[in-house]
């Protein structure tokens, strides 16, 4: 039995008491209750693949913002400071997560297809509009890449992350890890692709070529993802009960602290490496190496978490992530850059993929999963909005004092881990099991 299923308390409703199945796996009231739960199946794994393609095309591109941070800082938007430029990527991530609350509610209300189609259209339109921007026109880039792409991503992420829960119980956390691994593969491919395309055909056509590839992938993703329970229960979810769930609230704010500093290397490692004497061509592959490592970081820990619990895996992995932040001080060579990128990518990737399982584990029923994940993502969005602009300002360009940014990022990540420890302790007491 998965850690997520174990985490869900028993529902006292007549339907559940008759079926004797954990509420985390109980179909909506509008669906017949089966005595057995069919794990996965062809449609289940196709849905996981479609969700992975969605995150590859959206969150994977967002994880590659470091190449834009570097290119914009040195060339395309060179009149703007690194902090101002980082607001583009931070706003994109902010909207990606902030819109999670309304999209989570809409998903739980049965509007999966509407969210996926509308989000895909907005995201692709904004991606193509980015190719029409002009150098040194900051507002054009901000509107297309920060606002438009952020809204599009925000509409598709929660449905894509949540829908595998319809098909998996015993291996649910692993399924979620595979979905998030799609973003890792995107973060692996996009930096190489866009860096090389910019050098060969220029920025506008590099963006258009990337957008056409994403168009094809999102068409496939929308075609093969099918919710198992398309007509979800329309009953109102008691929001006050969710916000009074103290362990859940603590875990959300702990996650916000972690995300306040977690993405600093994703945004700045390429720029940091170039300014510290690493070969520029080699530095182009720093993000690729980091995101390559997150492929394993988002699958292996999730497989372990199905047996030992999402909290029990996330806490040590994220503790090491915070400690590794300080290892950036030692990056001065090409070898050092790649070692840091690989190790940091592996450990930081684990928490990103386990996040949904941690939030969903507090759900009282299947109908709450999207809302719980959405609330958590909405609160985390404010950390994503402000984290990298803060670290960008602490850099104090053009002198680039990196110590303040590194220390800030490391401390807030470790502070977030401390809150996770408290949340876990309370969850263990409530659920009466150490596997949380």
Q: Greater confidence, 45 or 26? A: 45
DSSP characters over 277-343:
T--HHHHTTHHHHHHHHHHHHTTHHHHHHHHH-HHHHHHHHHHHHHHHHGGGGG--SHHHHHHHHHH
What is the tens place of the pLDDT at every residue in 127-168? 999 999 999 999 999 999 999 999 999 999 989 988 887 788
Predicted pLDDT of residue 340: 93
What is the tens place of the pLDDT at every residue in 181-192? 888 888 888 988
The number of CA neighbours under 13 Å toward the Cβ of 351 is 29
How far is residue 151's CA from residue 148's CA, in Å, rounded to a whole number? 5
Instruction: Give residue 111's pLDDT band: very low, low, confident or very high (50, 70, 90).
Output: confident
Domains in the chain: boundaries: 37-431
Both structure tokens of 73: 């800082």
Task: Evaluate if residue 34 carries a pLDDT over 80.
Answer: no
What CATH code is assigned to 37-431?
A: 1.20.1250.20
Instruction: Give residue 233's pLDDT band: very low, low, confident or very high (50, 70, 90).
Output: low
What is the tens place of the pLDDT at every residue in 238-280? 778 888 999 999 999 999 999 999 989 887 888 888 888 788 7
Task: Evaluate if residue 37 carries a pLDDT over 90.
Answer: no
Both structure tokens of 227: 């919710």
Both structure tokens of 345: 């990518």
């Amino acid at each position: 039995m998965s850690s997520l299923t174990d985490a869900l308390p028993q529902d006292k409703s007549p339907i559940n008491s008759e079926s004797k199945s954990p509420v985390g796996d109980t179909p909506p009231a509008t669906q017949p209750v089966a005595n057995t739960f069919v794990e996965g199946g062809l449609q289940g794994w196709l849905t996981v693949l479609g969700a992975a393609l969605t995150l590859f095309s959206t969150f994977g591109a967002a994880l590659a913002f470091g190449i834009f941070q570097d290119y914009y800082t040195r060339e395309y938007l060179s009149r703007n400071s690194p902090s101002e430029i980082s607001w583009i990527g931070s706003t994109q991530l902010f909207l990606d997560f902030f819109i999670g609350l309304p999209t989570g509610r809409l998903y739980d209300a049965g509007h999966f297809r509407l969210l996926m189609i509308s989000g895909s259209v907005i995201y692709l339109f904004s991606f193509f509009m980015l190719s029409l921007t002009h150098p040194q026109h900051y507002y054009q880039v901000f509107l297309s890449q920060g606002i438009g792409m952020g809204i599009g991503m925000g509409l598709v992420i929660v449905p894509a992350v949540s829908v595998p829960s319809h098909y998996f119980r015993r291996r649910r956390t692993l399924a979620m890890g595979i979905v998030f691994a799609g973003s890792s593969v995107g973060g692996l491919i996009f930096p190489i692709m866009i860096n090389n395309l910019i050098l060969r055909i220029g920025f506008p056509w590099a963006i258009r070529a990337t957008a056409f590839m994403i168009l094809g992938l999102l068409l496939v993703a929308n075609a093969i993802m099918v919710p198992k329970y398309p007509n979800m229960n329309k009953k109102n979810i008691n929001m006050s009960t969710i916000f009074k769930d103290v362990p859940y609230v603590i875990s959300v704010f702990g996650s916000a602290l972690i995300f306040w500093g977690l993405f600093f290397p994703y945004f700045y490692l390429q720029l940091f490496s170039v300014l510290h004497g690493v070969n520029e061509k080699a530095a182009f592959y720093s993000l690729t190496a980091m995101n390559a490592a997150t492929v394993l970081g988002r699958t292996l820990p999730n497989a372990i978490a199905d047996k030992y619990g999402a909290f029990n895996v996330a806490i040590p992995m994220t503790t090491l992530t915070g400690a590794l932040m300080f290892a950036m001080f030692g990056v001065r060579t090409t070898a050092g850059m790649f070692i840091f990128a690989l190790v940091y990518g592996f450990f930081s990737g684990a928490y990103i993929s386990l996040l949904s399982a941690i939030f969903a584990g507090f759900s009282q029923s299947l109908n709450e999963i999207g809302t719980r994940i959405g609330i958590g993502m909405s609160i985390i969005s404010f950390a994503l909005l402000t984290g990298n602009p803060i670290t960008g300002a602490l850099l104090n360009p053009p002198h680039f004092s990196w110590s303040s940014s590194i220390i800030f990022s490391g401390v807030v990540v470790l502070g977030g881990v401390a809150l996770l420890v408290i949340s876990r302790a309370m969850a263990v007491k409530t659920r009466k099991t150490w596997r949380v």
